[in-house]
Amino acid sequence: MAEKISTARPRLVRPTAVAIGLLVAIVLVSAAVRIAVDWPNILAGTEPTENDFARRYVAHPWLAYVHIAPGLVYLLGAPLQLSRRFRTRHYNFHRRLGRVLLTCALISGLFALFFGVPYAWAGAPEAVATVVFGCWFLVCLVLAFRAIRGDDVRQHRRWMIRAFAVAIGIGTIRIWVGIFEGVEQATSGGTSPGEPDPTMFGIAFWLAFTMHVAVGEWWLRRTPALTG
């Protein structure tokens, strides 16, 4: 088993850590943009005049930001929780932090449904994707909690990896949206409209979350020595 771990670390763990760091950075930048666009309007009681995409955040700030804020806390803390080295060296802190992050993840996941379904920018495709993958995320969290309550650390860790794989898909959605916008500009010779195309936004949801669920399962099977 030690040989499997040592082989897997340089080949998989380091590139995966870099990819996760990049996706978290993308989510943080997206959140910063949201705050910069939304909050001047929220505080002033006005609506964005040139950005229809932002109007739903401004019109429903409690639903939107009770999803966004705990979600950011979860995404920032989850990689630390999944680190074997951190868990081994700081087990008590790992347990306390885990309770906080699980609570944040559950709140964020629930409000993703409350906000993302009725106010989906891409309509039905995005709303259905939000239900499918949002419910899967919540199921993974509940099963992870159930496993650790039963002292099944292996299954707890595996379910938490599945949950995190879905959550970090938020960053990949932004990558797909950027790709689609780049292709559209290149083919049409136009400029960026400043907000994502609804159809492409819905497709990006399905592509990103499906990829992340598949990659999460692949990771669990490819690295049993690391994820067990």
Token pair listed for 53: 């995409």
Q: Any alpha helices (H) in 45-123, and if so which ranges? A: 52-59, 61-81, 84-89, 91-116
194: left (phi over 0), alpha (psi -120 to 50) or beta: left
Place of tokens 């803390």: 77
CA distances from 191 to 60, 184, 187 (A): 29, 9, 11
Gap between the Cα atoms of 153 and 217, Å rounded? 18
Residue of 112, 102, 177, 115 whose CA lies nearest to 141: 102
Could you give the number of structural domains in the chain?
1
Task: Please write the tens of the pLDDT for every residue from 168-186.
Answer: 999 999 999 999 988 888 8
CA distances from 73 to 8, 9, 99, 105, 113 (A): 28, 26, 12, 8, 18
Task: Please write the tens of the pLDDT for every residue from 10-41.
Answer: 577 788 889 999 999 999 999 999 999 999 99
Q: What is the pTM of this model?
A: 0.90
Range of 133's domain?
Answer: 2-227
- How large is the greatest C-alpha to C-alpha distance in the chain, in angstroms? 60
Residue of 167, 170, 151 whose CA lies nearest to 216: 167
Share of the chain above pLDDT 70, in %: 91
